[in-house]
Amino acid sequence: MTTPFFHLRLHPAERVALLRSVVDRVRAQVARGPAVVVFDLDGTLMDNRPRVVAILHELAIAWATRHPAAADACARATADDIGYGFIANLRHLGVVDPTLHEEGLAFWKARFFQDPHVKHDVEILGARSYVKACYEAGAVVVYLTGRDLPNMALGSFASLRDLGFPIGVIGTELVVKPTFEMPDADFKRAVAPELRRLGTVVAAFDNEPANVNLFLDAHPESHGIFLDTQYAPDPCALDPRAQVIASFDLDT
């Protein structure tokens, strides 16, 4: 898949070397004091496209009688059909009626940002093993996400647990927004400097260029690593210090 950042992606051997160097830096830092590695969730550790597919399949059931053609299109959806933006996904599937777009978007919003549907997420390739490697090297693992406390904290905790990520043990933190309405970038900008309370930030992984940039500003000594998966339209330029990968795969 070609993306605006595709040309910046590290080659497999370079990706593996970078990921292993972060673990090595964790070990070296732990000899001097606490080391912190920060991971976003959606689009970074977790692929939420199956969550969207599950909602589309539910929408197909809801539309089966009133809009059978649109229902059939939604029922056929797979993760490979899913990009950024629910209306764009409907168009891609062949649902072109603007009225159905608005109805479908409301259906999606009522489910996507709620605990029950988080269970459909899957790990990005290699993510679980890599987070475990950082944790076992001694890192304080911080899951810093734009998901909110009232609606998604419990589902996120359960999803991390069920997918096998270290969570609920000493040395792990799940940090979520206090409210749904708070913009993700504002939340992360406020939290990023506070992470020094936990130790030295060795690396931060995120799938939004703006978030990678703000972490590098807050922790210039760290690795700022961009996951080239899915991100909001019209992304900002990536800080030249950032490094780009598309997975946590440690095979070359």
Give the pLDDT confidence of 101-141 residue by residue, as tens digits: 999 999 999 999 999 999 999 999 999 999 999 999 999 99
Q: Are residues 36 and 138 in the same domain?
A: yes
Strands of the sheet with 140-148, listed across from one edge: 172-177, 140-148, 35-39, 200-206, 223-227, 243-245
Q: Which domain holds residue 164?
A: 9-47+121-245
Count of structural domains within the chain: 2
Residues in Cβ contact with 2 at an 8 Å cutoff, skipping those fewer than 6 apart = none
Q: Are residues 167 and 151 in the same domain?
A: yes
Q: Are residues 147 and 234 in the same domain?
A: yes
Q: Are residues 63 and 171 in the same domain?
A: no
- Mean pLDDT of the residues in the chain: 97
CA dist 25 and 30 (Å) reads 8
Q: How high is the pLDDT of residue 149?
A: 98
Q: How high is the pLDDT of residue 2?
A: 76
Q: Are residues 80 and 185 in the same domain?
A: no
Q: Are residues 22 and 138 in the same domain?
A: yes
Residue 3: inside a domain, yes or no? no
Task: Tell me the whole-structure pTM to 2 decimals.
Answer: 0.96
Q: Are residues 40 and 134 in the same domain?
A: yes
pLDDT at 58 over 80: yes
- Provide the CATH number for the domain around residue 174: 3.40.50.1000
